[in-house]
Amino acid sequence: MKKFSLSFTFFLVYLIGWSQSLDTLDFDSFQTWVRSYHPIAAQADINLRMGDMEVRQARGGFDPLLFGTLDKKEFKENTYYDKQEAGISIPTWAGIELNGTFERNTGQFLNPEGSVPIDGLFAAGASVNLGQGLILDERRAALRQAQIYQESTVSQREQLLNELYFNASESYWKWAVAHENVKVLNEGVELAKIRFDAIKIAYQQGDLPAIDTVEAFAILLNRQYSLQSAENAFFGASQLLNTFLWDEDGNPMLLENDVIPQGLYDEFAPILEKEDLRVAVSSHPLLQIADFELASLGVERKLKGQQILPVVKLKYNFLTENLGEFNSPFFENNYKWGVSVYTPLLWRKSRGALGLANAKIDFKQNSRDLKEVELRTKLEAEINSFEVINTQIVTFSQNVTSLESLLQGEIRRFEIGESSLFLINAREVSLFSSKLTLNDLVSKRRINFAKSRFAAGLGFDE
Protein backbone atom coordinates (compact mmCIF):
# COMPACT_ATOMS: atom_id res chain seq x y z
CA MET A 1 0.00 0.00 0.00
CA LYS A 2 1.44 3.33 -1.04
CA LYS A 3 2.05 6.29 1.24
CA PHE A 4 0.35 9.60 0.55
CA SER A 5 3.30 11.93 1.15
CA LEU A 6 4.69 15.33 0.30
CA SER A 7 5.55 14.24 -3.22
CA PHE A 8 1.86 13.50 -3.86
CA THR A 9 0.80 16.89 -2.55
CA PHE A 10 3.50 18.55 -4.64
CA PHE A 11 2.09 16.77 -7.67
CA LEU A 12 -1.35 18.13 -6.90
CA VAL A 13 0.00 21.65 -6.46
CA TYR A 14 1.81 21.38 -9.77
CA LEU A 15 -1.20 19.80 -11.49
CA ILE A 16 -3.88 22.17 -10.27
CA GLY A 17 -1.81 25.30 -9.83
CA TRP A 18 -2.39 26.08 -6.19
CA SER A 19 0.45 27.47 -4.09
CA GLN A 20 0.12 25.94 -0.67
CA SER A 21 2.42 24.40 1.89
CA LEU A 22 3.54 20.98 0.79
CA ASP A 23 2.40 19.26 3.99
CA THR A 24 -1.22 20.37 3.60
CA LEU A 25 -3.82 18.39 1.70
CA ASP A 26 -6.39 21.06 0.90
CA PHE A 27 -10.02 20.22 0.29
CA ASP A 28 -10.13 21.10 -3.41
CA SER A 29 -7.05 18.99 -4.17
CA PHE A 30 -8.52 16.11 -2.20
CA GLN A 31 -11.81 16.28 -4.11
CA THR A 32 -10.02 16.45 -7.45
CA TRP A 33 -7.98 13.37 -6.59
CA VAL A 34 -11.04 11.45 -5.37
CA ARG A 35 -13.01 12.30 -8.51
CA SER A 36 -10.13 11.19 -10.72
CA TYR A 37 -9.02 7.92 -9.13
CA HIS A 38 -11.54 6.56 -6.63
CA PRO A 39 -12.95 3.12 -7.66
CA ILE A 40 -16.52 4.38 -7.41
CA ALA A 41 -15.68 7.12 -9.90
CA ALA A 42 -14.41 4.40 -12.23
CA GLN A 43 -17.56 2.34 -11.63
CA ALA A 44 -19.66 5.38 -12.50
CA ASP A 45 -17.92 5.59 -15.87
CA ILE A 46 -18.35 1.84 -16.40
CA ASN A 47 -22.11 2.41 -16.17
CA LEU A 48 -21.93 4.29 -19.46
CA ARG A 49 -20.15 1.36 -21.10
CA MET A 50 -22.87 -0.97 -19.83
CA GLY A 51 -25.49 1.22 -21.46
CA ASP A 52 -23.61 1.17 -24.74
CA MET A 53 -23.37 -2.62 -24.64
CA GLU A 54 -27.11 -2.97 -23.91
CA VAL A 55 -27.88 -0.97 -27.05
CA ARG A 56 -25.39 -2.96 -29.10
CA GLN A 57 -26.97 -6.19 -27.89
CA ALA A 58 -30.47 -4.97 -28.75
CA ARG A 59 -29.34 -3.82 -32.18
CA GLY A 60 -28.28 -7.41 -32.75
CA GLY A 61 -31.95 -8.21 -33.19
CA PHE A 62 -31.76 -6.35 -36.50
CA ASP A 63 -28.63 -8.08 -37.76
CA PRO A 64 -29.01 -9.80 -41.17
CA LEU A 65 -29.34 -13.56 -40.83
CA LEU A 66 -27.69 -15.99 -43.24
CA PHE A 67 -29.09 -19.51 -43.36
CA GLY A 68 -28.64 -22.70 -45.32
CA THR A 69 -30.01 -26.24 -45.30
CA LEU A 70 -29.06 -29.48 -46.99
CA ASP A 71 -31.47 -32.44 -46.88
CA LYS A 72 -30.67 -35.58 -48.86
CA LYS A 73 -31.98 -39.16 -48.81
CA GLU A 74 -30.29 -42.19 -50.50
CA PHE A 75 -31.70 -45.70 -50.27
CA LYS A 76 -30.84 -48.80 -52.32
CA GLU A 77 -28.89 -46.77 -54.85
CA ASN A 78 -31.81 -44.43 -55.36
CA THR A 79 -31.70 -40.73 -54.62
CA TYR A 80 -35.06 -40.08 -53.05
CA TYR A 81 -34.42 -36.36 -52.78
CA ASP A 82 -31.58 -33.85 -52.58
CA LYS A 83 -32.81 -30.47 -51.33
CA GLN A 84 -30.51 -27.47 -51.01
CA GLU A 85 -31.49 -24.02 -49.82
CA ALA A 86 -29.58 -20.87 -48.79
CA GLY A 87 -30.69 -17.37 -48.12
CA ILE A 88 -30.58 -14.16 -46.15
CA SER A 89 -33.15 -12.44 -43.94
CA ILE A 90 -32.87 -8.73 -43.14
CA PRO A 91 -35.10 -7.28 -40.37
CA THR A 92 -35.78 -3.54 -40.53
CA TRP A 93 -36.81 -0.91 -37.98
CA ALA A 94 -40.04 -0.39 -39.97
CA GLY A 95 -41.13 -3.93 -39.09
CA ILE A 96 -40.69 -5.23 -42.65
CA GLU A 97 -38.47 -8.27 -43.09
CA LEU A 98 -36.62 -8.54 -46.41
CA ASN A 99 -35.79 -12.03 -47.67
CA GLY A 100 -33.71 -13.56 -50.41
CA THR A 101 -33.31 -17.31 -51.07
CA PHE A 102 -31.86 -19.76 -53.55
CA GLU A 103 -33.05 -23.37 -53.74
CA ARG A 104 -32.16 -26.36 -55.87
CA ASN A 105 -34.00 -29.63 -55.47
CA THR A 106 -33.58 -32.99 -57.28
CA GLY A 107 -34.55 -36.61 -56.67
CA GLN A 108 -36.77 -39.43 -57.87
CA PHE A 109 -39.33 -39.04 -55.11
CA LEU A 110 -39.22 -35.28 -54.65
CA ASN A 111 -42.49 -33.68 -53.64
CA PRO A 112 -43.85 -32.01 -56.79
CA GLU A 113 -44.19 -28.63 -55.07
CA GLY A 114 -40.44 -28.70 -54.43
CA SER A 115 -39.61 -29.03 -58.14
CA VAL A 116 -37.44 -26.22 -59.43
CA PRO A 117 -35.37 -25.71 -62.59
CA ILE A 118 -32.15 -27.71 -62.91
CA ASP A 119 -30.01 -24.63 -62.22
CA GLY A 120 -32.07 -23.70 -59.18
CA LEU A 121 -34.55 -20.94 -58.34
CA PHE A 122 -34.02 -17.50 -56.85
CA ALA A 123 -36.63 -15.77 -54.69
CA ALA A 124 -36.65 -12.25 -53.30
CA GLY A 125 -39.36 -10.54 -51.33
CA ALA A 126 -40.59 -9.36 -47.98
CA SER A 127 -42.96 -10.13 -45.15
CA VAL A 128 -44.84 -7.56 -43.11
CA ASN A 129 -47.19 -7.62 -40.14
CA LEU A 130 -50.41 -5.74 -40.90
CA GLY A 131 -51.97 -6.30 -37.49
CA GLN A 132 -50.08 -7.23 -34.36
CA GLY A 133 -46.51 -5.93 -34.61
CA LEU A 134 -47.22 -3.28 -37.24
CA ILE A 135 -46.47 -0.36 -34.88
CA LEU A 136 -44.21 -2.15 -32.39
CA ASP A 137 -42.87 -5.66 -31.97
CA GLU A 138 -40.62 -7.30 -29.39
CA ARG A 139 -37.49 -6.63 -31.42
CA ARG A 140 -38.14 -2.89 -31.72
CA ALA A 141 -39.36 -2.68 -28.12
CA ALA A 142 -36.15 -4.30 -26.87
CA LEU A 143 -34.04 -1.77 -28.78
CA ARG A 144 -36.06 1.19 -27.53
CA GLN A 145 -35.80 -0.03 -23.93
CA ALA A 146 -32.06 -0.51 -24.34
CA GLN A 147 -31.75 3.05 -25.62
CA ILE A 148 -33.73 4.29 -22.60
CA TYR A 149 -31.45 2.31 -20.31
CA GLN A 150 -28.42 3.82 -22.05
CA GLU A 151 -29.80 7.29 -21.32
CA SER A 152 -30.50 6.32 -17.71
CA THR A 153 -26.88 5.25 -17.15
CA VAL A 154 -25.91 8.93 -17.36
CA SER A 155 -28.17 9.64 -14.38
CA GLN A 156 -26.97 6.53 -12.55
CA ARG A 157 -23.39 7.68 -13.04
CA GLU A 158 -24.26 11.14 -11.76
CA GLN A 159 -25.93 9.71 -8.65
CA LEU A 160 -22.91 7.53 -7.86
CA LEU A 161 -20.58 10.52 -8.22
CA ASN A 162 -22.85 12.68 -6.06
CA GLU A 163 -22.78 10.07 -3.29
CA LEU A 164 -19.00 9.87 -3.58
CA TYR A 165 -18.75 13.69 -3.40
CA PHE A 166 -20.83 13.85 -0.22
CA ASN A 167 -19.11 10.92 1.52
CA ALA A 168 -15.66 12.28 0.67
CA SER A 169 -16.59 15.80 1.82
CA GLU A 170 -17.98 14.52 5.10
CA SER A 171 -14.89 12.40 5.72
CA TYR A 172 -12.53 15.31 4.97
CA TRP A 173 -14.20 17.78 7.32
CA LYS A 174 -14.43 15.22 10.09
CA TRP A 175 -10.70 14.74 9.64
CA ALA A 176 -10.21 18.51 9.70
CA VAL A 177 -12.23 19.04 12.89
CA ALA A 178 -10.39 16.15 14.59
CA HIS A 179 -7.09 17.85 13.72
CA GLU A 180 -8.33 21.23 14.99
CA ASN A 181 -9.49 19.61 18.25
CA VAL A 182 -6.03 18.14 18.75
CA LYS A 183 -4.54 21.62 18.32
CA VAL A 184 -6.93 23.10 20.92
CA LEU A 185 -6.34 20.38 23.47
CA ASN A 186 -2.60 20.40 22.84
CA GLU A 187 -2.65 24.11 23.65
CA GLY A 188 -4.39 23.27 26.91
CA VAL A 189 -1.75 20.67 27.78
CA GLU A 190 1.07 23.11 27.06
CA LEU A 191 -0.54 25.75 29.26
CA ALA A 192 -1.01 23.19 32.04
CA LYS A 193 2.65 22.12 31.75
CA ILE A 194 3.90 25.70 31.95
CA ARG A 195 1.68 26.40 34.94
CA PHE A 196 2.67 23.18 36.69
CA ASP A 197 6.38 23.94 36.22
CA ALA A 198 5.91 27.50 37.49
CA ILE A 199 3.93 26.35 40.55
CA LYS A 200 6.49 23.64 41.31
CA ILE A 201 9.28 26.25 41.29
CA ALA A 202 7.17 28.55 43.47
CA TYR A 203 6.62 25.68 45.90
CA GLN A 204 10.33 24.90 45.99
CA GLN A 205 11.00 28.55 46.79
CA GLY A 206 8.41 28.47 49.59
CA ASP A 207 5.92 30.82 47.90
CA LEU A 208 3.09 28.27 47.44
CA PRO A 209 1.86 25.22 49.42
CA ALA A 210 2.43 21.67 48.18
CA ILE A 211 -1.26 21.15 47.58
CA ASP A 212 -1.09 23.64 44.67
CA THR A 213 1.43 21.42 42.87
CA VAL A 214 -0.88 18.43 43.33
CA GLU A 215 -3.79 20.36 41.85
CA ALA A 216 -1.69 21.62 38.95
CA PHE A 217 -0.43 18.11 38.22
CA ALA A 218 -3.99 16.71 38.33
CA ILE A 219 -5.08 19.35 35.83
CA LEU A 220 -2.16 18.40 33.56
CA LEU A 221 -3.02 14.69 33.71
CA ASN A 222 -6.67 15.36 32.96
CA ARG A 223 -5.80 17.45 29.91
CA GLN A 224 -3.28 14.87 28.70
CA TYR A 225 -6.05 12.28 28.85
CA SER A 226 -8.36 14.51 26.79
CA LEU A 227 -5.57 15.11 24.28
CA GLN A 228 -4.90 11.39 23.95
CA SER A 229 -8.60 10.81 23.21
CA ALA A 230 -8.53 13.57 20.60
CA GLU A 231 -5.39 12.13 19.00
CA ASN A 232 -7.09 8.75 18.81
CA ALA A 233 -10.13 10.36 17.14
CA PHE A 234 -7.81 12.11 14.67
CA PHE A 235 -6.11 8.80 13.87
CA GLY A 236 -9.51 7.18 13.22
CA ALA A 237 -10.58 10.07 10.99
CA SER A 238 -7.29 9.77 9.06
CA GLN A 239 -7.88 6.08 8.49
CA LEU A 240 -11.37 6.78 7.20
CA LEU A 241 -9.98 9.41 4.85
CA ASN A 242 -7.48 6.86 3.53
CA THR A 243 -10.39 4.89 2.04
CA PHE A 244 -10.91 7.72 -0.44
CA LEU A 245 -7.29 7.91 -1.62
CA TRP A 246 -6.24 5.76 -4.57
CA ASP A 247 -3.47 6.15 -7.11
CA GLU A 248 -3.64 6.16 -10.89
CA ASP A 249 -3.18 2.38 -11.02
CA GLY A 250 -6.11 1.66 -8.71
CA ASN A 251 -4.00 0.94 -5.61
CA PRO A 252 -5.00 2.26 -2.16
CA MET A 253 -2.85 5.00 -0.63
CA LEU A 254 -2.09 6.07 2.93
CA LEU A 255 -1.63 9.52 4.39
CA GLU A 256 1.79 10.27 5.81
CA ASN A 257 1.76 11.40 9.44
CA ASP A 258 2.97 14.88 8.48
CA VAL A 259 0.12 15.53 6.03
CA ILE A 260 -2.58 17.68 7.59
CA PRO A 261 -5.89 19.17 6.40
CA GLN A 262 -6.35 22.77 5.50
CA GLY A 263 -7.36 25.05 8.36
CA LEU A 264 -10.89 24.57 9.54
CA TYR A 265 -11.20 28.35 9.79
CA ASP A 266 -9.70 29.11 6.38
CA GLU A 267 -11.75 31.55 4.36
CA PHE A 268 -15.06 29.94 3.57
CA ALA A 269 -18.05 31.98 2.53
CA PRO A 270 -20.45 29.54 0.88
CA ILE A 271 -23.64 31.00 -0.44
CA LEU A 272 -26.48 28.58 -0.88
CA GLU A 273 -28.50 29.79 -3.82
CA LYS A 274 -31.71 28.42 -2.40
CA GLU A 275 -33.85 28.99 -5.46
CA ASP A 276 -31.21 27.43 -7.72
CA LEU A 277 -31.12 24.36 -5.47
CA ARG A 278 -34.90 24.12 -5.52
CA VAL A 279 -34.84 24.20 -9.30
CA ALA A 280 -32.00 21.68 -9.43
CA VAL A 281 -33.84 19.13 -7.28
CA SER A 282 -36.51 18.79 -9.99
CA SER A 283 -33.74 17.26 -12.16
CA HIS A 284 -32.34 15.10 -9.38
CA PRO A 285 -30.65 11.95 -10.77
CA LEU A 286 -32.99 9.74 -8.73
CA LEU A 287 -36.00 11.41 -10.35
CA GLN A 288 -34.42 11.11 -13.78
CA ILE A 289 -33.82 7.40 -13.18
CA ALA A 290 -37.50 7.02 -12.19
CA ASP A 291 -38.55 8.87 -15.35
CA PHE A 292 -36.46 6.53 -17.50
CA GLU A 293 -38.05 3.54 -15.76
CA LEU A 294 -41.47 5.01 -16.53
CA ALA A 295 -40.44 5.48 -20.17
CA SER A 296 -39.33 1.85 -20.34
CA LEU A 297 -42.63 0.73 -18.82
CA GLY A 298 -44.40 2.90 -21.39
CA VAL A 299 -42.69 0.94 -24.18
CA GLU A 300 -43.78 -2.29 -22.50
CA ARG A 301 -47.38 -1.04 -22.26
CA LYS A 302 -47.36 -0.09 -25.93
CA LEU A 303 -46.07 -3.53 -26.84
CA LYS A 304 -48.76 -5.23 -24.73
CA GLY A 305 -51.37 -3.03 -26.42
CA GLN A 306 -50.16 -4.24 -29.81
CA GLN A 307 -50.62 -7.84 -28.73
CA ILE A 308 -54.39 -7.34 -28.45
CA LEU A 309 -54.55 -6.95 -32.23
CA PRO A 310 -55.00 -10.04 -34.45
CA VAL A 311 -51.94 -11.43 -36.22
CA VAL A 312 -52.06 -10.62 -39.93
CA LYS A 313 -48.86 -11.45 -41.77
CA LEU A 314 -48.42 -10.86 -45.49
CA LYS A 315 -45.60 -12.49 -47.50
CA TYR A 316 -44.58 -11.92 -51.10
CA ASN A 317 -41.65 -13.34 -53.08
CA PHE A 318 -40.69 -12.84 -56.72
CA LEU A 319 -39.28 -15.96 -58.40
CA THR A 320 -36.73 -16.22 -61.18
CA GLU A 321 -34.15 -18.57 -62.63
CA ASN A 322 -31.94 -15.62 -63.56
CA LEU A 323 -31.03 -12.76 -61.23
CA GLY A 324 -31.21 -10.38 -64.18
CA GLU A 325 -34.98 -10.91 -64.37
CA PHE A 326 -35.68 -9.22 -61.02
CA ASN A 327 -36.52 -6.02 -62.86
CA SER A 328 -39.71 -7.60 -64.20
CA PRO A 329 -43.03 -6.29 -62.85
CA PHE A 330 -44.42 -7.98 -59.74
CA PHE A 331 -47.34 -10.41 -60.03
CA GLU A 332 -46.32 -11.35 -63.60
CA ASN A 333 -46.40 -15.15 -63.63
CA ASN A 334 -43.40 -15.87 -61.40
CA TYR A 335 -44.18 -15.18 -57.75
CA LYS A 336 -45.52 -16.67 -54.58
CA TRP A 337 -47.44 -14.89 -51.87
CA GLY A 338 -49.58 -15.62 -48.89
CA VAL A 339 -51.31 -14.20 -45.88
CA SER A 340 -51.86 -15.74 -42.47
CA VAL A 341 -54.41 -14.58 -39.89
CA TYR A 342 -55.13 -15.79 -36.39
CA THR A 343 -56.51 -14.34 -33.20
CA PRO A 344 -57.67 -15.55 -29.78
CA LEU A 345 -61.36 -15.25 -29.04
CA LEU A 346 -61.28 -13.82 -25.52
CA TRP A 347 -57.94 -12.00 -25.39
CA ARG A 348 -57.65 -12.69 -21.65
CA LYS A 349 -53.89 -13.17 -21.72
CA SER A 350 -53.24 -9.98 -23.71
CA ARG A 351 -55.73 -7.88 -21.75
CA GLY A 352 -54.27 -9.13 -18.48
CA ALA A 353 -50.76 -8.28 -19.64
CA LEU A 354 -51.88 -4.78 -20.67
CA GLY A 355 -53.63 -4.26 -17.34
CA LEU A 356 -50.51 -5.39 -15.50
CA ALA A 357 -48.36 -2.97 -17.52
CA ASN A 358 -50.73 -0.11 -16.62
CA ALA A 359 -50.59 -1.09 -12.94
CA LYS A 360 -46.78 -1.09 -13.01
CA ILE A 361 -46.78 2.41 -14.49
CA ASP A 362 -49.21 3.68 -11.85
CA PHE A 363 -47.10 2.11 -9.09
CA LYS A 364 -43.87 3.59 -10.41
CA GLN A 365 -45.48 7.01 -10.95
CA ASN A 366 -46.69 7.06 -7.34
CA SER A 367 -43.21 6.08 -6.14
CA ARG A 368 -41.67 8.77 -8.29
CA ASP A 369 -44.04 11.46 -6.94
CA LEU A 370 -43.34 10.37 -3.37
CA LYS A 371 -39.58 10.44 -4.00
CA GLU A 372 -39.80 14.01 -5.31
CA VAL A 373 -41.66 15.14 -2.18
CA GLU A 374 -39.07 13.41 0.01
CA LEU A 375 -36.18 15.03 -1.88
CA ARG A 376 -37.70 18.49 -1.67
CA THR A 377 -38.42 18.05 2.04
CA LYS A 378 -34.87 16.86 2.63
CA LEU A 379 -33.48 19.84 0.74
CA GLU A 380 -35.52 22.33 2.75
CA ALA A 381 -34.33 20.70 5.98
CA GLU A 382 -30.69 20.95 4.90
CA ILE A 383 -31.07 24.58 3.81
CA ASN A 384 -32.64 25.44 7.17
CA SER A 385 -29.90 23.56 9.04
CA PHE A 386 -27.24 25.47 7.14
CA GLU A 387 -28.80 28.80 8.06
CA VAL A 388 -29.21 27.80 11.72
CA ILE A 389 -25.60 26.60 11.95
CA ASN A 390 -24.38 29.91 10.51
CA THR A 391 -26.30 31.74 13.25
CA GLN A 392 -24.94 29.40 15.91
CA ILE A 393 -21.38 30.00 14.71
CA VAL A 394 -21.80 33.75 15.12
CA THR A 395 -23.24 33.25 18.61
CA PHE A 396 -20.58 30.82 19.73
CA SER A 397 -17.76 32.91 18.29
CA GLN A 398 -18.91 35.73 20.53
CA ASN A 399 -19.08 33.29 23.43
CA VAL A 400 -15.47 32.17 22.84
CA THR A 401 -14.32 35.80 22.70
CA SER A 402 -16.07 36.53 25.99
CA LEU A 403 -14.58 33.45 27.67
CA GLU A 404 -11.09 34.46 26.48
CA SER A 405 -11.59 37.88 28.09
CA LEU A 406 -12.76 36.27 31.32
CA LEU A 407 -9.73 33.98 31.35
CA GLN A 408 -7.31 36.86 30.83
CA GLY A 409 -8.99 38.76 33.62
CA GLU A 410 -8.76 35.74 35.94
CA ILE A 411 -5.07 35.33 35.14
CA ARG A 412 -4.40 38.99 36.03
CA ARG A 413 -6.28 38.52 39.29
CA PHE A 414 -4.21 35.41 40.03
CA GLU A 415 -1.00 37.32 39.39
CA ILE A 416 -1.94 39.91 42.05
CA GLY A 417 -3.10 37.23 44.48
CA GLU A 418 -6.86 37.74 44.18
CA SER A 419 -7.70 34.45 42.42
CA SER A 420 -6.75 30.78 42.57
CA LEU A 421 -5.48 28.04 40.30
CA PHE A 422 -8.85 26.34 40.61
CA LEU A 423 -10.67 29.36 39.12
CA ILE A 424 -8.15 29.71 36.29
CA ASN A 425 -8.59 26.05 35.44
CA ALA A 426 -12.37 26.43 35.48
CA ARG A 427 -12.11 29.37 33.08
CA GLU A 428 -9.79 27.43 30.77
CA VAL A 429 -12.02 24.37 30.82
CA SER A 430 -15.01 26.48 29.76
CA LEU A 431 -12.95 28.17 27.07
CA PHE A 432 -11.56 24.94 25.59
CA SER A 433 -14.98 23.30 25.73
CA SER A 434 -16.46 26.25 23.82
CA LYS A 435 -13.63 26.13 21.26
CA LEU A 436 -14.33 22.43 20.67
CA THR A 437 -18.03 23.19 20.24
CA LEU A 438 -17.19 25.98 17.80
CA ASN A 439 -14.91 23.62 15.88
CA ASP A 440 -17.76 21.15 15.65
CA LEU A 441 -20.15 23.83 14.37
CA VAL A 442 -17.70 25.06 11.73
CA SER A 443 -17.16 21.49 10.57
CA LYS A 444 -20.91 20.88 10.48
CA ARG A 445 -21.35 23.98 8.33
CA ARG A 446 -18.90 22.61 5.77
CA ILE A 447 -20.58 19.20 5.85
CA ASN A 448 -24.06 20.72 5.68
CA PHE A 449 -23.05 22.70 2.61
CA ALA A 450 -22.20 19.37 0.94
CA LYS A 451 -25.45 17.87 2.25
CA SER A 452 -27.48 20.67 0.70
CA ARG A 453 -25.82 20.17 -2.69
CA PHE A 454 -26.28 16.42 -2.45
CA ALA A 455 -29.97 16.82 -1.51
CA ALA A 456 -30.43 18.95 -4.64
CA GLY A 457 -28.79 16.27 -6.79
CA LEU A 458 -25.46 18.09 -7.16
CA GLY A 459 -21.95 16.88 -6.45
CA PHE A 460 -18.54 17.52 -7.92
CA ASP A 461 -18.18 20.76 -9.86
CA GLU A 462 -17.54 19.44 -13.37
Identify the band that residue 19 occupies on the pLDDT scale cut at 50, 70 and 90: very low
253 with 242: CB under 8 angstroms? yes
Q: What is the pLDDT of residues 358-398, one digit of tens each?
A: 999 999 999 999 999 999 999 999 999 999 999 999 999 99
Q: Summarize the confidence of residues 173-195 as an average pLDDT.
A: 93
Identify the band that residue 195 occupies on the pLDDT scale cut at 50, 70 and 90: confident
Q: Model's pTM, two decimal places?
A: 0.82
Q: Summarize the confidence of residues 427-442 as an average pLDDT.
A: 92
Q: What is the mean pLDDT of the chain?
A: 87
* CA 96 to each of CA 62, 129, 134, 139: distance values in angstroms, whole numbers, following the listed order: 11, 7, 9, 12
* CA 246 to each of CA 3, 4, 20, 84, 179: distance values in angstroms, whole numbers, following the listed order: 10, 9, 22, 62, 22
pLDDT (0 to 100) of residue 300: 93
Q: Summarize the confidence of residues 341-360 as an average pLDDT.
A: 89
Q: How many CA atoms lie within 13 A of 49 on its CB side?
A: 5
Q: What is the pLDDT of residues 103-126, one digit of tens each?
A: 988 888 888 888 888 888 888 889
Q: Summarize the confidence of residues 264-270 as an average pLDDT.
A: 75
Q: What is the pLDDT of residues 199-212, one digit of tens each?
A: 888 888 887 788 88
Q: What is the pLDDT of residues 21-77, one digit of tens each?
A: 448 899 999 999 999 999 999 998 898 999 999 999 999 988 999 999 999 888 888
What angle do helix axes 421-455 and 210-242 make, rounded to 10 degrees? Answer: 10
Single out the residue of 81, 86, 80 nearest to residue 105, CA to CA: 81
Q: Which residues pair with 83 in a beta bridge?
A: 71, 105
Single out the residue of 383, 397, 390 nearest to residue 438, CA to CA: 397
**Structural domains in the chain, sorted by start:** 2-37+141-296+359-455 (1.20.1600.10), 66-132+310-346 (no CATH)
Measured in degrees and rounded to the nearest 5, phi and psi for residue 293 equal: -65, -40
Single out the residue of 188, 257, 199 nearest to residue 224, CA to CA: 188
If one compares 7 and 142, the residue with the highest pLDDT of the two is: 142
Local structure of 356: helix, strand or coil = helix
If one compares 394 and 15, the residue with the highest pLDDT of the two is: 394
Alpha-helix runs per DSSP H in 124-264: 138-204, 210-242
